Amino acid sequence: MTRTFALTMSRPHETLHLPMPVGRKLSEAGKTAWSILILGATLGCFGVYIFQVNAAASRGFHLRVLEKRLEALQEHVSMLENQAAQAQTLRSLEGKVKALGYVPVDHMEFLDAPTGYAVAK
């Protein structure tokens, strides 16, 4: 008798022609929801990583451009400093003084002025 009973026994939802039981649906839905959540989080992390790598690469490129510009400006500054040093040499100043019409002083005499005033004659 037990054997006959076991053969005729079926699941209640199958007997009533219902879909899968609600309890089983919830567990399957939970597994699916967690899988979708983990997949979404993983894709989100990849997206953030790619964004950060691209941002760092563009900042690096911009920094390299600025460094090249800095080097060019430093070369220009050193060239201008060299020109300023050449313009301030004694020989250059003497040439400029002669161009203005001044004559060099050959003999200088100093006077003792007890009052401390200089008088032009």
Q: Which pLDDT tens digit goes with each residue over 40-96?
A: 999 999 999 999 999 999 999 999 999 999 999 999 999 999 998 888 888 877 888
Distance CA 7, CA 53 (A): 64
One DSSP character per residue, 38-76 reads HHHHHHHHHHHHHHHHHHHHHHHHHHHHHHHHHHHHHHH
Buried/exposed code over 14-46 (b: 16+ C-beta within 10 A; e: otherwise)? eeeeeeeeeeeeeeeeeeeeeeeeeeeeeeeee
CA-CA distance, 87 to 81, in Å (whole number)? 10
Threshold 0.75, pTM exceeds = no
pLDDT at residue 1 is higher than 60 = no
Confidence label for 120 from pLDDT (cuts 50, 70 and 90): low
| The amino acid at 114 | P
Q: Using 50, 70 and 90 to split pLDDT, how confident is the model at 104?
A: confident
Domain locations in the chain as residue ranges: 18-99
